[in-house]
Every structure is written in structure tokens, then in C-alpha cells.
Amino acid sequence: MTFVIIGLFTLLLLLGIPISIVLGMITVLYFVLIGDPVLLESTPQRLYSGLENFGLLAIPLFMLAGEIMNEGGITSRLVRFSRVLIGHVRGGLAYVTVISNMFLASILGSANAQAAMMSKVMVPEMEKEGYSREFSSALTLGSSVIAPIIPPSMIFIIYGTLSGTSIGGLFMAGIIPGILFGIGFMLLISYYGFKMKFPKSNKATFKEILKNTWNVIPALLVPVAIIFGILSGVFTATESAGVACFIALIVGIFFYKELKLKKFPKIFVSTVINTATVTFLIAMANIFGWMIAFEQIPQMIVDTMLAISDNPFVFLLMVNLALLIIGMFLDGIAALIILTPVFLPLITAFEIDPIHFGLIICINLTIGLLTPPVGTGLFIVSSIAEVKFERLIKATLPFLAVAIFMLFVITYWSDAVLIIPRTFGF
């Protein structure tokens, strides 16, 4: 029966049916085939119970905060601030793209959303200054993987909810890896800068630097408030999402005065659609996870991996290789929701810290945005930047190599992930 289910699952995906629909169809079909009416009758209840988690409330709130900040002029000021600081060095606009992505990571928390936004903003600007469209698009896409690493992060919220791991601890664990990814991409830019003679921008005057620094301070209130609030224990990671919405409203309406009443319908509609998409996927994946638990698939995987090796380093290598392959064919959030229940017994057996493993699986699946054939980031940037898909893949390969290298650094250097959470008692 297991092989039949796997075959049907693969077939439906190849037919182009959305992953959330596939998960629900396969689960219901399985319960019908085994002829157990109790399981079938319990499916609707299980569907809704999977969403009864306080941590999931952070998803719509952080999405709302991101929409408010975009419409309130916060995003543009962060990009402008980055450009004023380092736009004058060789390859300055390329560095600005990476640093802007690091700033925006604390606002959006979604690599796809960040790739779409930065493609519209930075690719035309870089092309005007002499960068090739392929390199500009690849850089924008590559550095967008920082978004789900630096807090707040939607993918961390989902993993924390599914695994029972502290979401606040995951947020804090993402800070150093996010910085390491940024440094890795900037080193690559430095190499390309001297090799390809990247252009320089005009150096900003002291008055321009001062003005942009003053303008960006309100924009930085949201990430600072989130991190300070969680570390000090003033509020939880979920509550910080509500605080982020409130601060974003204040900044957009009273400081920058760009958040007008007419923008709110668009903000709310976008938030509702994005939230519905994610929560529907979580609900469907919950009953699918229930099915694979019923089939004892996680236990079979545990026994197989323990038979291969009881060394945690070998186990993490196998996990990374498997996830990199899975990420090529399955959406990151869908894969996370499906695989987290499978891996939980394994990380317990190998005595791996769940926060450390959360960073590994979340970063690994995020890298899937850069890999064909179903890397959604590739399709988004290719469409927005009007770059041929094949040429974008080729230009993205060096950034993909850096991302995979940093993934293995984080995998085997656990202190880089855990030093901040441990310092603050997570």
C-alpha cells in the first residue's frame, strides 16, 4: 500500500496539481482503500485541529506587518540607506542588494516575496549602472534566501509549531547564520568585482549620509523591537508579530506619512490570500502526516538510518543531501510540513538539538528556491526581470554553491547557531 501511495503522490505532482490538493487527495484515498471508516470520519476533525495552535497566529500578523511596511515607505528607505553607505565602492550596488536583503529579511521573512520585490527595485537600477541583467537577477535571487533565516521568519514559525520547538529560540538562532550568508555572498561579489571590473557609484556627501541615517531609524524600530522584546521576555515570538504590526502602522502613518487609508483594502486582501494559502497547506499536510504516522513510515526511516550509521555527523550529511534533492522537486514549506514529523524521532535518537536541526532543515529547503526544475524563486525572478530561465539558472549557480557551502558550515558548526539562544536561555 505504501508504494501505491508514493506512486500516486508522484503522478499527481507530475500532472501539475497543487501540492496542498495532492496531500488531501492522497490521504482521503488511502483511508478509503484500507476501508477504515473511523479514520475517514475523523479526517475533518484532524484537518481543523492541525490549525489550533497559538504559534500559527504569528503567520498572518507578520504578513500583515510586512505589507504595512512595504506600503508605508519603509522598504524604500532601507534600500536607500544601504546605497548611501556603500554604493560608492567597486560593485557597490551589488553589495547594496545583499545588505538590503538582510535588512528586508527582518520585515518580510519570505524569500519569494523578497525576490519579487527586489527584482522590481534593484535589477533595473543595476542594469543602468552597467551590470548584466543575468548577474543582477541571480544576485537578487541568491541573496533573497537570507529572508527566512534572519528573524522573524515564517518557515521558523511553522517548524517550531510542528516540532514543539521554541519559536523565539529559532528566531535568535537565525541571526548569526543570516550574517554568515550575507558575508558569503559579499565575498563572491568582491571576487566578481575585480574580475569583471564592476562599476562604482558617486560617493554620498556627509549631509546625505546623515539625512538617510535619520530617515531609516523609524524603519529599524520593528526588527529592533522584535529582537529586544523576545530576548528580554517582554513578549513571546507570536506576540511580537502584533507589536510589529502596531509599530509599522505608527511609522507608516505618522513618521513617513505614506500609509494612506486607501491602501488598506489592498494590504488586507494580500494578507488574507497569502495566509489562506499557507494555512490550507498546513491543514492538508497535517492529515497527510497523520497518515504516514499510521503507516509507521517515520519509524521505518529511523530504523533504516540507524542501521546505516549511528554517527550524528553522517546522519546530518545524509539529511542534507536528501533535503537538497527533495528541495529540487517540492515546495519548501510543503516539504517542511511533511518531513518534520518524519525527522523528529531521528533527531531524538541522534541527540541533535531541535533548534540546530530546525535551522538546518529550514535553510536547506529554502535553498530549493534556487534549484530547478521547480525552484519557485527562479520562476519569479525570471518573469519579473525578464531573463531567460536557462540563462538565469547558469548565472545563479555560483550563488547556489555559496549557499550550500554555508549550509554545511552551519550544519557542522553548531555553536554559530546555538550561541545566542543558549545565552538567553532558550
CA angle 119, 95, 81 (to 5 degrees): 85
Rounded to two decimals, the pTM is 0.78
Over the chain, what HEC string results?
Answer: CHHHHHHHHHHHHHCCCCHHHHHHHHHHHHHHHHCCHHHHHHHHHHHHHCCCCHHHHHHHHHHHHHHHHHHCCHHHHHHHHHHHHHCCCCCHHHHHHHHHHHHHHCCCCCHHHHHHHHHHHHHHHHHHCCCCHHHHHHHHHHHHHHCCCCCCCHHHHHHHHHHCCCHHHHHHHCHHHHHHHHHHHHHHHHHHHHHHCCCCCCCCCHHHHHHHHHHHCHHHHHHHHHHHHHHHCCCCHHHHHHHHHHHHHHHHHHHCCCCCHHHHHHHHHHHHHHHHHHHHHHHHHHHHHHHHHHCCHHHHHHHHHHHHCCCHHHHHHHHHHHHHHHHCCCCHHHHHHHHHHHHHHHHHHCCCCHHHHHHHHHHHHHHHHHCCCCCHHHHHHHHHHCCCHHHHHHHHHHHHHHHHHHHHHHHHCHHHHHHHHHHCCC
Confidence of residue 408 (pLDDT cuts 50, 70, 90): very high
For the segment 324-343, what is each residue's pLDDT rounded down to a tens digit? 888 777 777 777 877 888 88
pLDDT for residue 28: 84
91-128 per-position pLDDT tens digit? 787 888 888 888 777 666 667 777 777 777 778 878 87
* Span 219-273, pLDDT tens digits: 778 778 877 777 777 877 778 778 888 888 888 888 888 888 888 898 888 888 8
pLDDT at 411: 94
Note the pLDDT of residue 298.
62
Domain limits, the chain: 1-49, 50-423
